[in-house]
Chain A
Amino acid sequence: QQQVKQSPQSLIVQKGGIPIINCAYENTAFDYFPWYQQFPGKGPALLIAIRPDVSEKKEGRFTISFNKSAKQFSLHIMDSQPGDSATYFCAASDYKLSFGAGTTVTVRA
């Protein structure tokens, strides 16, 4: 049973567009919400993370929006570039990380 539901499964945007990936959870014990980026043939790498006491966090072109009451959080990639093409996983942790199913993002030049 997947504890973190992620959508969409895949999306394609043009360079400069803003892909948005959404995640939802039920377990209110989750207190740490990271996003991981994975390129083909590589392991996932931490991109950005948020705690539930803030509603938004920005790092460079990546922004997490967090809605504690709705138990939802999302990743926005501003001014997307072809090099951002990868699979993105949201995750949530109480004492171990539970991952979403992943979203494959393709940014066309």
Chain B
Amino acid sequence: QVQLQESGPGLVKPSETLSLTCTVSGGSIRSYYWSWIRQPPGKGLEWIGYIYYSGSTNYNPSLKSRVTISVDMSKNQFSLKLSSVTAADTARYYCARHEGGRNGWCDYWGQGTLVTVTS
């Protein structure tokens, strides 16, 4: 059974960079796409972007200038960096396995981690 676990700081200061890591267990990161998705308090889900295990990426255009997703196959992990954060970036951040290519779906999810942007 594939399991995903997000890790990283729960508090980030405005203008700084949010950094999260997703550790995949129970399966290899190889041959799949891996997504980051977030949900601000009281709002819906927002796709941030995904990375293929080979390193190719696709980002939400609204966040593209601030987002970097990377993969570390040796650790079976992938990571999210979001720069110049503001209060609007406060959200629960989920990592997920993205099956089926660009029109794919997320079949395994992490439990999510709440990140609050505050001074």
Report if A and B associate in a common complex.
no
Chain B interface (Cβ within 8 Å of chain A)? none
